[in-house]
């Protein structure tokens, strides 16, 4: 697809959906994320789109161009999957597979036989669960997908948290999930987030998850956050905590050196994937 054609498709898609992530546009147009980033940079210089962290939205006043491109751009280009499907746990396991697997692999040396570990319902933890060896472990999780992943491991003891079930997240939330944590003694708690910012701390996708995460911190001797570089400097729907709750951060290279200094200030050990 020629660059001009891609630009028309991108403007049309943003007109239809308001805002899109780079990886969503790349998937729809069957091009690399690097190509999409270059296209968005050029379109932003022309004033047709506005860059956001990890994606873009249509520039104010550009609805006319989007409408004009719409009919042309719709031919031969797959439509964006339903937004609920994009947010679903299953859909998120198809995004950045190698990246999440690599990050999760860095967590394996932190787990030893006899440990009791707690995994939140992030897809990064699902990739961690896939790589866990069949050894003497107690694995506690709110995620039915993670529990199902580990059911064939004969040496493990699995404990699922109850509560209010979310089919989108394939996980349990709410007061019952919090109550399920009572009297638990966790060696290491692994979790991910929707974004983290040097000034505002850590964010996740819902207030229900933020509340549950805060209770999970309380029962763990060690807290490990596993998150890729795209979440750096990004905010989410619900604030979870500051960096003082973390013991270890597993991530990629910091884009903002001040964020690295923030980790040092809070005595957070950083492991780079």
Summarised one tens digit per residue, pLDDT across range 55-89 is 777 776 555 454 544 444 444 444 444 444 447 88
Mean pLDDT of 7-31: 81
pLDDT for position 74: 45
Mean pLDDT of 121-148: 96
Percent of the residues in the chain that have a pLDDT greater than 90, as a whole number: 56
pLDDT for position 237: 82
pLDDT for position 85: 46
Task: Give the CATH number of domain 92-272.
Answer: 3.40.50.1360
Three-state secondary structure of the chain? CCHHHHHHHHHHHHHHHCEEEHHHHHHHHCCCHHHHHHHHHHHHHCCCEEEECCEEEECCCCHHHHHHHHHHHCCCCCCCCCHHHHHCHHHHCCCCHHHHHHHHHCCHHHCCCCCEEEECCCHHHHHHHHHCCCCCCEEEECEHHHHHHHCCCCCCEEEECCCEEECCCCEEECHHHHHHCCCCCEEEEEECCCEEECCCEEEECCHHHHHHHHHHHHCEEEEEEECCHHHECCCCCEEEECHHHCCEEEECCCCCHHHHHHHHHCCCEEEEC
pLDDT for position 18: 66
With contact defined as beta carbons under 8 Å apart, do 169 and 121 qualify? yes
CATH number belonging to the domain at 3-80, selected among 1.10.10.10, 3.40.309.10, 1.10.1530.10, 2.30.110.10: 1.10.10.10
pLDDT for position 88: 83
With contact defined as beta carbons under 8 Å apart, do 10 and 33 qualify? no
Summarised one tens digit per residue, pLDDT across range 188-238 is 999 999 999 888 899 998 889 999 999 999 999 999 999 998 898 888 888
Mean pLDDT of 155-173: 94
Taking the domains of the chain in order of start, what are their residue ranges?
A: 3-80, 92-272
Tell me the pTM: 0.70
């Amino acid at each position: 697809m020629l660059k001009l054609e891609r630009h028309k498709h991108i403007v049309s898609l943003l007109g239809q959906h308001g805002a899109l992530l780079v990886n969503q546009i790349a998937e729809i147009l069957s091009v690399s994320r690097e190509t999409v980033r270059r296209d968005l940079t050029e379109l932003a210089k022309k004033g047709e789109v506005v860059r956001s962290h990890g994606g873009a939205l249509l520039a104010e006043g550009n609805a006319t161009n989007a409408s004009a491109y719409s009919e042309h751009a719709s031919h031969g280009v797959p439509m964006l999957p339903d937004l609920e499907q994009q947010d679903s746990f299953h859909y998120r396991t198809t995004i950045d597979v190698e990246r999440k697997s690599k990050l999760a692999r860095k967590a394996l040396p932190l787990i030893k036989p006899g440990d009791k570990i707690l995994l939140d319902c992030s897809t990064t933890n699902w990739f961690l669960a896939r790589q866990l060896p069949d050894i003497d472990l107690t694995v506690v999780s709110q995620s039915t997908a993670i529990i199902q992943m580990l059911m064939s491991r004969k040496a493990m003891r699995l404990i699922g948290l109850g509560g209010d079930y979310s089919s989108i997240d394939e996980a349990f939330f709410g007061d019952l999930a919090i109550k399920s944590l009572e009297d638990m003694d966790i060696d290491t708690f692994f979790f991910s987030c929707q974004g983290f910012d040097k000034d505002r701390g850590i964010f996740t996708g819902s207030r229900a998850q933020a509340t549950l995460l805060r209770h999970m911190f309380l029962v763990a001797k060690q807290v490990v956050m596993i998150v890729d570089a795209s979440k750096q400097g990004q905010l989410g729907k619900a604030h979870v905590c500051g960096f003082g709750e973390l013991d270890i951060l597993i991530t990629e290279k910091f884009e903002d050196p001040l964020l690295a200094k923030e980790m040092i200030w809070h005595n957070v050990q950083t492991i780079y994937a």
